[in-house]
């Protein structure tokens, strides 16, 4: 039975963020943030992006690898005669806690040259190693672990506001928040025409493996290309993260996640599965074997 979130009680709690509308509903006694897919800005042929599926599948992939991510559910929301497929993300910010993004911690580093939302890799690394709110070694490892999984799922948008911490106000302590905001992964603006074109054309596929999506993180003002950066094996922090994460990835578990995802078509299932296998083999496996040998 598909969940109809529009039939559930709503609260007055609001959520920030730029991509799509959001409502807070109560499901099984728990708060969930219902995210509505935004208009597909780069593909006028689509009335809405597939970001709700990206959010759901991406979060489950993180969890399958052993990196704690938000819990998500797919369902529908009725607005008059219109029925939209939406994703609901369980609210992981408990009582007495506050979600602080990494930008908030980066802002504590007074000498940081680009402010909290600056995404130059060198500036981020300096902030991670200089800040005193969280163990810098653990934070550095976490950053690169997420980077490796984002490379697998093709996340365009892991900027400093899309990962962070839970702050306990009473005890003045920080813990890593579950991974959230995966809606810009898995080619969210690819419609059926694009999916078929990529699956039928090796050149189109190679472009979407080696060039796009690229990371939100930059080097020298240019966005990092996941493929060239990781397969170069020149960044030791990235290499160590790959050695940690790659053995934890199960393609069969990922295929199972995709096959059990409601609302998506057989074409979407094939497209997601093929692209994830290709990204796994051409980016992560290639680099992993290079490091190991």
As a whole number of angstroms, the distance between CA 267 and CA 163 comes to 31
Report pLDDT for 114.
Answer: 64
pLDDT reported for residue 127: 93
| pLDDT in single tens digits along all 293 residues of the chain | 689 999 999 999 988 766 668 999 999 999 999 998 876 666 766 656 799 999 999 999 999 999 999 999 999 999 888 899 999 999 999 889 999 999 999 988 756 566 688 899 999 999 999 999 999 999 999 999 999 999 999 999 999 999 999 999 999 999 999 999 999 999 999 999 999 999 999 999 999 999 999 999 999 999 999 999 999 999 999 999 999 999 999 999 999 999 999 999 999 999 999 999 999 999 999 999 999 98
- Show Cβ contacts of residue 1 under 8 Å, excluding neighbours closer than 6 positions: none
Q: What was the pLDDT predicted at 46? A: 60
The answer to whether the CB of 275 falls within 8 A of the CB of 57 is no
Cis check: omega of the bond before 213, within 30 degrees of 0: yes
pLDDT of res. 190? 94
């Amino acid at each position: 039975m598909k969940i109809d979130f529009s039939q559930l009680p709503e609260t007055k709690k609001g959520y920030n963020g730029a991509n799509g509308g959001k409502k807070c509903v109560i499901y099984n006694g728990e708060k969930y943030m219902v995210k509505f897919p935004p208009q597909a800005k780069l593909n006028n042929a689509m009335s809405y992006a597939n970001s709700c599926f990206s959010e759901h599948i991406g979060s489950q992939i993180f969890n399958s690898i052993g990196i704690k991510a938000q819990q998500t559910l797919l369902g529908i929301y009725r607005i008059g005669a219109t029925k939209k497929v939406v994703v609901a993300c369980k609210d992981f910010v408990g009582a007495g806690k506050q979600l602080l993004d990494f930008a908030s911690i980066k802002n504590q580093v007074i000498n940081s040259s680009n402010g909290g939302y600056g995404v130059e890799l060198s500036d981020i690394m300096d902030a991670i190693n200089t800040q005193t709110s969280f163990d810098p070694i653990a934070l550095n490892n976490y950053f690169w672990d997420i980077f490796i999984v984002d490379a697998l799922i093709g996340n365009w948008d892991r900027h400093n506001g899309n990962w962070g911490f839970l702050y306990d106000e009473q005890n003045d302590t920080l813990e890593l928040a579950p991974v959230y905001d995966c809606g810009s992964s898995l080619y969210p603006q690819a419609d059926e025409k694009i999916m078929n074109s990529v699956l039928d054309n090796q050149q189109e596929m190679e472009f979407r493996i080696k060039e796009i999506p690229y990371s939100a993180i930059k080097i020298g003002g240019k966005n990092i290309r996941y493929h060239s950066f990781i397969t170069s094996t020149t960044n030791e922090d990235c290499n160590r993260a790959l050695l940690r994460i790659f053995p934890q990835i199960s393609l069969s578990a990922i295929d199972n996640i995709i096959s059990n995802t409601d609302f998506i078509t057989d074409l979407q299932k094939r497209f997601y599965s093929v692209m994830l296998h290709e990204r796994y083999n051409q980016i992560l496996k290639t680099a992993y074997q290079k490091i190991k040998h």
